Amino acid sequence: MSPAELLAKVAQFDALIVRSGTKVTRGVLEAGRGRLRVVGRAGVGIDNVDLQAATEAGCLVVNAPTANTVAAAEHGIALLACMARNVSQADAALKAGKWQRAKYVGVSLVGKTLAIMGFGKVGSEVARRAKGLGMHVIAHDPYAPADKARAIGAELVSFEEAIAKADFISLHMPLTPATSKVFNDESFGKMKTGVRIVNVARGGVIDEDALVRALDSGKVAQAALDVFTVEPPAKDSKLVLHENVTVTPHLGASTVEAQEGVAIEIAEAVGGALRGELAATAVNAPMVPAEVRTKLLEKLRCR
Ligand SMILES: NC(=O)C1=CN([C@@H]2O[C@H](COP(=O)(O)OP(=O)(O)OC[C@H]3O[C@@H](n4cnc5c(N)ncnc54)[C@H](O)[C@@H]3O)[C@@H](O)[C@H]2O)C=CC1
Ligand SMILES: O=C(O)C(=O)COP(=O)(O)O
């Protein structure tokens, strides 16, 4: 549905299920007032849902936090390997009739230091796989327990230490006000010259203009990006068109297996929320005052 169609139709439904392409704005939530009770995000990141407006409109927001974890981690590893070996550039050149073996000499992953920024579900699965590739894995996450990292053979370090020591950096934190544009001119300046960056988290954690500058100067040798601040990015985006950048159109969760799992997970979560059973697991539950939550649950049970 286009945003206009969604606005026109949302009031006919008790629940709305979306992926990242649909923005559940204050306008959508207000248009749904009176009937809409649950917003289901068929995936992890809920940065496309206005949680405050949902809470004010009496809507629970639920997500599908686990079913696409491995798909996203596998895509991160795929981008890491493709980037290091110039797979997309060499593929495009060969299809254009150019056999350029010298131009596309790559770099090895084995023995290199990989910094995982955000050691949650996806980040820790990337770490496990990177250990299998012989990489030295460090991670930064202000909330992750050190023993969880140790069990995988990764060391938890500060933000500064992670970005300063890494040959490769893989981003796995959610987009929040605290993580918006944390990769910027200042942080790129503290990285090793020739660092390589993978982003399957959210485009907004990177200041994309600063990344173009860092790529142009050679500070960042390469980047592999699945996500962008604005999706789809502009056709003439300097970042997307940069010769040292590998891109995919937000495919991290797009496997047959992950989408089947996500569909089941979100159907269960939305069904549970509509029956008033899973309200405590709603993403915005902590924002709903206890007395409002009780009334909301009563309403949900009545429907
Ligand atoms: N490209 C794609 O298709 C996909 C993208 N994602 C993105 O990946 C993100 C992570 O997904 P999961 O691992 O499942 O979520 P998660 O919630 O399990 O992990 C996120 C981790 O980030 C950490 N974190 C929070 N603030 C941080 C900060 N300032 N610095 C470092 N770490 C911080 C949290 O403590 C948590 O451990 C999602 O929020 C979503 O944006 C997830 C799935 C697919
Ligand atoms: O689960 C996530 O956070 C994702 O980014 C996946 O997004 P999608 O459902 O593929 O639009």
Report whether 162 contacts 140 (CB < 8 A): yes
What is the β-pairing status of strands 113-117 and 168-171?
parallel
Report whether 168 contacts 198 (CB < 8 A): yes
Cα 70 to ligand 1 centre (Å):
13
Tell which one of 18, 19, 24, 255 to mutate to probe ligand 2, the residue whose CB is within 8 A of the most ligand atoms.
19
Report whether 284 contacts 50 (CB < 8 A): no
The catalytic residue among 231, 257, 260, 298 is 231
- Give the predicted TM-score (pTM) of the model: 0.95
7-11, 23-27, 201-205, 286-290: the lowest-pLDDT one: 286-290
CA–CA separation, 240 and 131 (whole Å) = 29
Cα 63 to ligand 2 centre (Å):
10
CA–CA separation, 238 and 197 (whole Å) = 17
Q: How confident is the model at residue 37 (pLDDT cuts 50, 70, 90)?
A: very high
Ligand 1 atom having least distance to the Cα of 254? 3
| pLDDT single digits (tens) 75-129 | 999 999 999 999 999 999 999 999 999 999 999 999 999 999 999 999 999 999 9
Mean pLDDT of all residues in 250-268: 98
| 231 is an active site residue | yes
Complex prediction ipTM: 0.99
Report whether 51 contacts 31 (CB < 8 A): no
**In which region does residue 77 sit, left (phi positive, over 0), alpha (psi from -120 to 50) or beta (all else)?**
alpha
| 26 is an active site residue | no
Tokens 């008033």 found at: 276
Mean pLDDT of all residues in 58-71: 96
Ligand 2 atom having least distance to the Cα of 68? 1
Give the CB-side neighbour count of residue 292, counting CA atoms within 13 A: 12
**pLDDT value at position 292?**
65
Ligand 1 atom having least distance to the Cα of 66? 14
For residue 132, how many other CB atoms are within 10 A of its CB? Answer: 9
CA–CA separation, 140 and 293 (whole Å) = 35
| pLDDT single digits (tens) 217-245 | 999 999 999 999 999 999 999 999 999 99
Mean per-residue pLDDT over the chain, rounded: 95
